[in-house]
Amino acid sequence: MEIYINEDFRLTNDGSHNIIIEERKLIKSTKEGVADRYEWKDVGYYGRVEHACSKLIDIVEVRADVIGALDALVKMRQQLVDNISDIVRKMEESVNVPG
Protein backbone atom coordinates (compact mmCIF):
# COMPACT_ATOMS: atom_id res chain seq x y z
CA MET A 1 0.00 0.00 0.00
CA GLU A 2 1.24 3.48 -0.87
CA ILE A 3 -0.97 6.53 -0.40
CA TYR A 4 0.67 9.74 -1.55
CA ILE A 5 -0.44 12.70 0.57
CA ASN A 6 1.62 15.23 -1.38
CA GLU A 7 5.03 15.24 -3.05
CA ASP A 8 6.82 15.04 0.31
CA PHE A 9 4.70 12.62 2.39
CA ARG A 10 3.13 9.23 1.89
CA LEU A 11 1.57 6.45 3.95
CA THR A 12 2.79 2.90 3.49
CA ASN A 13 2.61 -0.30 5.48
CA ASP A 14 5.18 -2.88 6.47
CA GLY A 15 3.14 -5.84 5.28
CA SER A 16 1.89 -6.74 8.72
CA HIS A 17 0.31 -4.38 11.23
CA ASN A 18 2.02 -1.01 10.96
CA ILE A 19 1.05 2.08 8.99
CA ILE A 20 4.19 4.09 8.23
CA ILE A 21 4.48 7.81 7.57
CA GLU A 22 7.35 8.44 5.18
CA GLU A 23 8.89 11.73 4.17
CA ARG A 24 10.79 12.36 0.96
CA LYS A 25 14.28 13.70 1.71
CA LEU A 26 16.86 15.16 -0.63
CA ILE A 27 20.19 13.35 -0.36
CA LYS A 28 22.96 15.67 -1.53
CA SER A 29 25.80 13.95 -3.32
CA THR A 30 29.28 14.43 -1.92
CA LYS A 31 30.91 12.90 -4.98
CA GLU A 32 31.64 14.81 -8.14
CA GLY A 33 29.63 13.62 -11.10
CA VAL A 34 27.01 11.88 -8.93
CA ALA A 35 23.60 13.51 -8.97
CA ASP A 36 21.59 14.37 -5.87
CA ARG A 37 18.70 12.00 -5.25
CA TYR A 38 15.54 11.67 -3.19
CA GLU A 39 14.82 8.87 -0.73
CA TRP A 40 11.83 8.06 1.43
CA LYS A 41 12.62 8.07 5.17
CA ASP A 42 10.37 6.69 7.91
CA VAL A 43 8.88 9.34 10.18
CA GLY A 44 6.83 7.05 12.40
CA TYR A 45 5.03 3.73 12.78
CA TYR A 46 1.36 3.58 13.79
CA GLY A 47 -0.98 0.70 14.58
CA ARG A 48 -4.06 2.43 13.19
CA VAL A 49 -4.67 4.54 10.11
CA GLU A 50 -6.51 7.11 12.26
CA HIS A 51 -3.42 7.62 14.44
CA ALA A 52 -1.14 7.95 11.43
CA CYS A 53 -3.45 10.49 9.81
CA SER A 54 -3.70 12.50 13.03
CA LYS A 55 0.08 12.61 13.35
CA LEU A 56 0.46 13.46 9.67
CA ILE A 57 -1.79 16.49 10.13
CA ASP A 58 0.39 17.62 13.05
CA ILE A 59 3.60 17.14 11.05
CA VAL A 60 2.32 19.04 8.02
CA GLU A 61 0.93 21.82 10.22
CA VAL A 62 4.22 22.25 12.10
CA ARG A 63 6.18 22.30 8.83
CA ALA A 64 3.84 24.97 7.46
CA ASP A 65 4.29 27.05 10.63
CA VAL A 66 8.07 26.72 10.38
CA ILE A 67 8.06 27.72 6.71
CA GLY A 68 5.85 30.72 7.53
CA ALA A 69 8.18 31.76 10.36
CA LEU A 70 11.20 31.31 8.11
CA ASP A 71 9.61 33.51 5.44
CA ALA A 72 8.94 36.18 8.08
CA LEU A 73 12.56 35.99 9.28
CA VAL A 74 13.87 36.37 5.74
CA LYS A 75 11.70 39.48 5.25
CA MET A 76 12.81 40.90 8.61
CA ARG A 77 16.46 40.27 7.73
CA GLN A 78 16.07 42.04 4.41
CA GLN A 79 14.41 45.00 6.13
CA LEU A 80 17.29 45.14 8.62
CA VAL A 81 19.85 45.05 5.80
CA ASP A 82 17.98 47.85 4.01
CA ASN A 83 17.81 49.94 7.20
CA ILE A 84 21.51 49.50 7.92
CA SER A 85 22.38 50.39 4.33
CA ASP A 86 20.32 53.58 4.62
CA ILE A 87 22.01 54.51 7.91
CA VAL A 88 25.50 53.91 6.48
CA ARG A 89 24.64 55.94 3.36
CA LYS A 90 23.32 58.85 5.47
CA MET A 91 26.41 58.73 7.69
CA GLU A 92 28.69 58.79 4.66
CA GLU A 93 26.73 61.71 3.18
CA SER A 94 26.96 63.67 6.43
CA VAL A 95 30.73 63.18 6.59
CA ASN A 96 31.16 64.30 2.99
CA VAL A 97 29.10 67.49 3.37
CA PRO A 98 31.36 70.53 3.00
CA GLY A 99 31.12 72.73 6.02
Separation of alpha carbons 60 and 54, rounded Å: 10
pTM of the model: 0.64
What pLDDT, on the 0 to 100 scale, is given for residue 91? 86
Q: State yes or no: pLDDT of 99 exceeds 80.
A: no
Q: State yes or no: pLDDT of 72 exceeds 80.
A: yes
- 17: phi then psi, degrees, rounded to nearest 5: -120, -5
What is the tally of structural domains in the chain? 1
* Residue ranges of E strands in the chain: 2-4, 9-13, 19-27, 37-46
Residues 8-30 pLDDT 10s: 999 999 888 899 999 999 999 99
50 CB-near residues (< 8 Å, 6+ apart): none
What pLDDT, on the 0 to 100 scale, is given for residue 77? 92
Residues 20-71 pLDDT 10s: 999 999 999 998 888 999 999 999 999 998 999 899 988 888 888 888 888 8
Range of the structural domain that residue 81 is part of: 2-95
CB contact at 8 A, 2 and 10: yes
